[in-house]
Amino acid sequence: MRAKNFIGNTLLSLAGFGILTLANFVYSIFTVRLLSPEAFSAYNTFFYFLLALPLPSFQLAVAKATGKHSLPLRSEVAFLFPSLLRLALWSALGYIVLSPLLWFLYGQQYPLLLPLGLLVLEGWVWLSGLRGIYQGMLRFDMFSLNMGIEGISRLLAGTGAMLLGLSAYGALGASVVSGLVGIGILLLPLLFSQKDEKVAFPEKELPLLRPFLQALLVLFPFGILVVLDQTMINRFLPEYGKIVNLSSLFGKNLIALSLTIAHVVFAYVVKEGEDSFFLRGMGIIVLLFGMAYLFVLITGKWLFGFLFGSPFGYEFLPLYIGYCLPLGLLQLIVNYSVAEENHWIIPSLWIYSGGMAILMILFLRVFPLSLVQWYLFFGGIHLLFVLVLTILFLFMRKPSRLTP
């Protein structure tokens, strides 16, 4: 039954993430068409800065705290509310302290982006915390519904705001609206749940700051690895930047799709304590990437022509999806390591990401390769790294934890 629920919850999460991704993709097309080049540049740069903040590590910390005990939903929210409030206040304080630097980098043309960014950040903090509660309770029905509705509300609110002439402010303000809608969706079940009577709360509040920082130390170098190839190509081989950036729209979304699967695996490993969910998650990711590879191999030329108006660069897309496969698997390994508290992976990821940055620069400046050779070479290194980590994880666990 648990295996059946695992597959069902994974499919639910993928469905919600699929709707969210599709809505965000359509929204990106609208922002390109409805904003001036200056407004789009200001909005897009600042939005992706906000998106790069380590809120997934906060969600993992809350999910892990929730998975440690079994409280009804209303009691779970009440129990973790003080911790969520403190982290929200600390994040706001950090944002305010950094606001002069943020204004210098992002706000000179559109200064109101900064207060809007604070509202977006605070909304995402609460949204991540509430999602973490549902994730830890294995309530992936609401988890999935929340993602889908959030994406649709952002699309509708942002498109309407830009049509009304609110420019970059409307584009970013849509994330404030969608965040509030998402929070409302997750709080809605509390209105229909009965008041918990005689619930035995844990003796002390579970600390969220420490697991949050531990997750952050793992997720940050992983984030560097995900964007490293685009950063290097755009900096040292700008003539190939267009090909890589177009292909990354598909490859990086597949990595994000792996994050959805990793969230399910994380919750089951914490709650059920079985490593078999880790192996099943890896199998699902390989299957999804394989299906995507075959799809773009057959339809890549038509797909590029339909979406971008020209088939230029479509031949590179299958290779780029193959390059992203090890990173998708690494996403699962990262989440699994947080669930299992394998702290040794933290220095491993930092050393690996730093070494890869140096090696990529070396091969771009001293030993130049063609674009195809470069991605084959570094994709192979990523795959080898993932295989080594997987073997280490399997051999370091007790045999009883590996049985389905």
- pLDDT tens digits, residue range 36-67? 767 876 777 677 667 766 676 677 777 777 76
Query: Is the CB of residue 233 less than 8 Å from the CB of residue 82?
Result: no
| 35 vs 404, higher pLDDT | 35
Please tell me whether residues 185 and 334 are part of one structural domain: no
The boundaries of the domain holding residue 371 are: 209-404
Separation between Cα atoms, residue 369 and residue 355, nearest integer Å: 18
Please tell me whether residues 241 and 365 are part of one structural domain: yes
pLDDT of res. 52: 63
Please tell me whether residues 170 and 257 are part of one structural domain: no
Q: Please provide the average confidence, as pLDDT, over all residues in the chain.
A: 79
| 156 vs 250, higher pLDDT | 156
Q: What is the pLDDT of residues 180-226, one digit of tens each?
A: 999 998 888 877 666 655 555 555 555 566 666 666 677 778 877 88
Please tell me whether residues 234 and 363 are part of one structural domain: yes
Domain boundary residue, one of 142, 173, 207: 207
Separation between Cα atoms, residue 298 and residue 257, nearest integer Å: 21
Please tell me whether residues 227 and 371 are part of one structural domain: yes
Query: Is the CB of residue 124 less than 8 Å from the CB of residue 55?
Result: yes
Q: What percent of the chain stands above pLDDT 90?
A: 25
Please tell me whether residues 80 and 56 are part of one structural domain: yes
Q: What is the pLDDT of residues 346-357, one digit of tens each?
A: 899 999 999 998
The answer on pLDDT for 402 being more than 70 is no
pLDDT of res. 277: 66
Query: Is the CB of residue 312 less than 8 Å from the CB of residue 364?
Result: no
Query: Is the CB of residue 147 less than 8 Å from the CB of residue 15?
Result: no
Separation between Cα atoms, residue 314 and residue 312, nearest integer Å: 6
Separation between Cα atoms, residue 17 and residue 28, nearest integer Å: 16
DSSP 285-302: HHHHHHHHHHHHHHHHHH
The answer on pLDDT for 361 being more than 50 is yes
User: Which residue, 239, 250, 268, 390, is CA-closest to 324?
Assistant: 250
pLDDT of res. 211: 64
Please tell me whether residues 29 and 121 are part of one structural domain: yes
Please tell me whether residues 286 and 193 are part of one structural domain: no
Domain boundary residue, one of 207, 228, 252: 207
User: How many domains would you assign to the chain?
Assistant: 2
Q: What is the pLDDT of residues 278-291, one digit of tens each?
A: 777 888 889 989 99
Q: What is the pLDDT of residues 284-310, one digit of tens each?
A: 889 989 999 999 999 989 987 776 667
Domain boundary residue, one of 186, 207, 228: 207
The widest CA-to-CA distance across the chain, in whole angstroms, is 69
Please tell me whether residues 215 and 200 are part of one structural domain: no
pLDDT of res. 234: 67
Please tell me whether residues 155 and 240 are part of one structural domain: no
Please tell me whether residues 282 and 180 are part of one structural domain: no
Which tokens hold the place of 10? 């994974």
Which tokens hold the place of 253? 């979304």
Q: What is the pLDDT of residues 370-401, one digit of tens each?
A: 899 999 999 999 999 999 998 887 777 654 44
Give me Rg for the CA atoms of the chain.
21
Please tell me whether residues 9 and 74 are part of one structural domain: yes
